[in-house]
Amino acid sequence: MNAQLRAISELDRVIHEPGRLMIVALLAGVKECDFLFLLRETEMNKGNLSSHLARLEEAGYVEIEKTYRGKVPQTLLRLKPAGRTTFDNYRKGLMAAF
Amino acid sequence: MNAQLRAISELDRVIHEPGRLMIVALLAGVKECDFLFLLRETEMNKGNLSSHLARLEEAGYVEIEKTYRGKVPQTLLRLKPAGRTTFDNYRKGLMAAF
DNA sequence: AGAACTGGTTTGCATTGCAAACTAGTCGGC
DNA sequence: GCCGACTAGTTTGCAATGCAAACCAGTTCT
């Protein structure tokens, strides 16, 4: 197997999914944001966004904090260190492949 | 939605799958090769490779020619024009995103 | 003849991604 | 105070996917 294929085959599958890639790319540039912001930016529906976030949390890539803005619930999202390094490696992998 | 996210969300899903991405990347640089070559290079198993190729054929991206090398069957694969342009666009999309 | 090998395809299953339906709580009108 | 609408998400149900084990047709070995 050559280096290009190796790089492709080693891409992290959790981050590779476009829905989650959008989320992580956004979080990588912002340090913290809420559910509704992601919802608007990614143009996904709520169920979809919710489950992708759950997957990213379970992978240890994002931190989900449930809080309140006044009386309305607000879910805050942050990229964890593991998520950042995995994302960086993902990008390096892409650059190595293309 | 910003340009980065737009680029990610528009990536072709057929090509995005790493197994198929490996196949298409290989075919893009070789003009023609056979099943066994792909099998060795990608390190997939036969069933997996077979079904990814079927998917790429059905998408109109690769051409599958079944022939013989002497008495043993041989399956030849080629990237079709549609596959090449989709792959080119995929790469442009990646570059736009990262 | 038949066991083993080659070159694949098909089958079966567990995992996904997706959106519709649901839930918990808030606000506004009456 | 109660009822309907709204907000902020989660859960459910299902169709599509990826994967490898099992299968199959044909060939070669002995």
Q: A3-97 is classed in which CATH architecture? A: Orthogonal Bundle (1.10)
CA of A87 vs C1' of C24, distance in Å? 35
CB contact at 8 A, B33 and B76: yes
Neighbours of B54 (CB within 10 A): 12
Residue with tokens 């090449």: B84
A11 in helix, strand or coil? coil
pLDDT at A44: 96
Q: Report residue B43: phi and psi, to 5°.
A: 60, 25
Average pLDDT, integer, range B33-45: 96
Nearest beta carbon to residue B9 from set A5, A11, A22: A22
Domains of chain A by residue range: 3-97
Q: Which residues pair with A75 in a beta bridge?
A: A66
- Residue A23's alpha-carbon distances to A55, A64, A67, B50, in angstroms, are 11, 13, 20, 33
Q: Which residue is nearest to nucleotide D6 (CA to C1')?
A: A72
For the segment A22-75, what is each residue's pLDDT rounded down to a tens digit?
999 999 999 999 999 999 999 999 999 999 999 999 999 999 999 999 999 999
pLDDT at B28: 97
- The H or E element spanning position A60 is none
